[in-house]
């Protein structure tokens, strides 16, 4: 007895599902399938919020924006700026607390905000 599914058989129809009645219905199914794939891919991305960021040393106020470069790791992997994440900064000009915002790219999603201390020059 053959176990191959014959084209046009009931088993073939069950395997492939019902044929869409219209092009619009086929398009809707394709869009739904693409959305499902996008959802799965999103689950595979790693949350940058769980990354380890090497503490940023205290900085001295200069009157200009302070933009320290964070070292970002996931496990033992050091991530690459502008490939795995982007960086943006708070005003970071006055004595107090400065901020660095790290946002995931490509295989990483989400964001993480880290802070550092800005000390007086005196």
Tell me, yes or no, whether 2 lies in a domain.
Answer: no
Beta carbons of 98 and 89 less than 8 angstroms apart: yes
Indicate whether 20 and 70 sit together in one domain.
Answer: no
22-36, 57-71, 78-92, 102-116, range with the lowest pLDDT: 22-36
Q: Please give the pLDDT value at position 35.
A: 75
Q: Please give the pLDDT value at position 85.
A: 97
Which residue range forms the structural domain that includes residue 100? Answer: 46-119
40-73 confidence digits (pLDDT tens):
665 668 999 999 999 999 999 999 999 999 999 9
What total number of domains does the chain contain?
2
HSE, side-chain direction, 13 A CA sphere, residue 22? 3
Tell me, yes or no, whether 31 lies in a domain.
Answer: yes
């Amino acid at each position: 007895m053959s176990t191959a599914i014959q084209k046009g058989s009931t088993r073939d129809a069950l395997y492939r599902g019902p044929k869409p009645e219209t092009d619009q219905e086929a398009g809707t199914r394709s869009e739904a399938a693409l959305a499902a794939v996008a959802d799965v891919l999103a689950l595979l991305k790693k949350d940058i919020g769980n990354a380890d960021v090497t503490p940023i040393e205290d900085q001295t106020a200069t009157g200009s924006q302070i933009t320290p470069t964070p070292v970002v790791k996931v496990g033992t992997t050091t991530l690459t700026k502008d490939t795995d994440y982007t960086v943006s900064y708070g005003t970071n000009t006055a004595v107090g607390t400065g901020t660095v915002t790290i946002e995931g790219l490509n295989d990483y999603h989400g964001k993480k905000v880290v802070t550092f201390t800005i000390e007086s020059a005196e």
